[in-house]
Amino acid sequence: MTSEGENIQAAIETPPAWQGILDPGEKIVWQGQPDQGFDVAAKEIPKAMFALFFSGFAIFWMSQAAAHGGPFWMFGLIHFSVGLGIFWKAIFGATQRRRRTWYTLTDRRAFVATDMPFKNRALKSYPITPDSPISYRAGPLATIHFARERRTGDKGRSFIANIGFERIAEGEKVIALLRKAQRGEEDT
């Protein structure tokens, strides 16, 4: 029996939930999730600090407006709420996204599934071919990238994003299975 967050070796037969998704003869060789622990990327700290300043200024503005009477102070609630939202996303957003992400590797493709609140469930597949751009960052929580995708950022600018299995515990095992799939070798 495996505990939550541990990787699961798939059975030889296609699980019922994967019927109609996998190609004939395609086999699941690994499944898992990113690390579930709380972690904040260093690049998010300035955004969080700005959000706190923004919310703090809104509180100051609301107190000054309230001191002069009338309901005008309530317009500051919008700014205060936006600041708190930006802060929450900067500090907790990546951890929440990891907790609602699942990975699957077959002998032909890699899948990334997400189930985020207020968004639809998503299942994306990425073929693993000899030309797949694989990169591996080893560590207790390894990251393996195997595809690139053009995305649009917050300000409408497009950029190339690396796609992969991030912060996984069994990095060495998964990179070996991924390289095997890249070479087209059968799992024994």
Pairing of strands 142-152, 109-114: unpaired
Instruction: Check whether residue 148 and residue 106 sit in a common domain.
Output: yes
In terms of residue numbers, what domain contains 81? 42-95
pLDDT recorded at residue 13? 63
- 34 found inside a domain: no
State mean pLDDT over 100-119. Answer: 91
CA 103, distance to chain mean position in Å, is 10
- 76 found inside a domain: yes
pLDDT in tens, 111-152: 999 998 878 889 999 999 999 999 999 989 999 999 999 988
Instruction: Check whether residue 173 and residue 104 sit in a common domain.
Output: yes
Number of domains, the chain: 2
With H, G, I as helix, E, B as strand and everything else as coil, classify residue 136.
strand
pLDDT in tens, 57-98: 999 999 999 988 878 888 899 999 999 999 998 898 888 888
Give the DSSP per-residue string, 55-120. Answer: HHHHHHHHHHHHHT-SGGGGGHHHHHHHHHHHHHHHHHHHHHHHHTEEEEEESSEEEEEE--TTS-
Global pTM? Answer: 0.75
Is residue 6 pLDDT above 90, yes or no? no
Instruction: Check whether residue 104 and residue 67 sit in a common domain.
Output: no
- 14 found inside a domain: no
pLDDT in tens, 24-58: 889 999 999 999 888 888 888 999 999 999 999 99
Are the beta carbons of 35 and 141 closer than 8 angstroms? Answer: yes
Instruction: Check whether residue 54 and residue 104 sit in a common domain.
Output: no
